[in-house]
Amino acid sequence: MNKKFFCVISAAFGLFLLTSCNNGKTGMMESSMSDSLVLNVDSLEADVLVQIDSLTDEFVALGNNGQIVAAKDSLAELSKREKLLRPDYLLDPNATTKLVTLIQKRSALAILLVERSVRDAYGMPLTEAEKAIARMSLEVNDPALVADSQSSLPLDEIIRLKIDYYRKHKRLDSFWGFTEAVLNEQLYLAAQNPDYYLNMVNDEDIATLHRRIELCSEALDIYAQYDPDVADIVEVRSKNLPLTDKKALDAFCSVENFRNFLIANKDAIIEVRNSMIK
């Protein structure tokens, strides 16, 4: 696989990965973690927590395999003429001021972080997006997200996993909710311009991407039993874009099949992505 190609999941992991050598920052995280980010995790049964841990371990084990859109500097270089055709499908950073719920804000943060690499590739201004990222990071009130999203490192270089931190604080629901938004954004961008976003992937990448989606779907299906907001997300996804049935398996078996899938399901993909921020 082309070495320039990095995972949009690096963007997700970028919020959970970073050297924790700064004791002051760690202390801030230890004392500031919200107890009500999404749901009362203490209500989960022991066997359910084991299931979540198992899904998380497998997701982490996938490493940087199975990727489409990317962190900073991983997208294919555009010509000057191509840069003139700036994408009109990116999230308006100013629109994030109207978001109310935690899930909406966390999803918007994921979208903005992923789209930052697209704005950079097209030479688009980043000021408003960066301001929105900083604001959303604080509003989400998750110290790990705040610290990592404000890091000066490119997202693909933030490589040290903070999963242990989330496990310690029983916040793996935050990880999976954020990952769902990143995966949806990955599909959303690819559907907008398959020729551009799929030009650096192979069949193996697409198959691994599908496994990521399966793992995330399994985790959210579990959390949906305890949180009505998560249940709403799962319902919209299941209704509009089932990604784990046999038809989807066929779609993810090759780049060409996946391209056709994106084209045929573009409206549904847009609906699922937008449902997380409205």
Condensed to tens digits (0 to 9), the pLDDT of residues 198-211 reads: 887 889 989 989 89
Residue-wise pLDDT for 132-154, tens only, equals: 988 988 888 766 665 555 555 44
Q: What's the pLDDT score for residue 74?
A: 55
User: Cα angle vertex 35, ends 29, 36, to 5°?
Assistant: 125
Those residues with Cβ within 8 angstroms of residue 272's Cβ, 6 or more apart along the chain or in another chain: 184, 187, 236, 237, 240, 241
Separation of alpha carbons 1 and 215, rounded Å: 23
Q: What's the pLDDT score for residue 44?
A: 65
Separation of alpha carbons 109 and 241, rounded Å: 22
Q: What's the pLDDT score for residue 61?
A: 82
Separation of alpha carbons 103 and 176, rounded Å: 11
Q: What's the pLDDT score for residue 144?
A: 61
- Residue 176: closest CA among 144, 216, 142, 138: 216
pLDDT beneath 50: ranges in the chain = 1-38, 71-73, 153-160
Q: What's the pLDDT score for residue 236?
A: 83
Q: What's the pLDDT score for residue 111?
A: 93
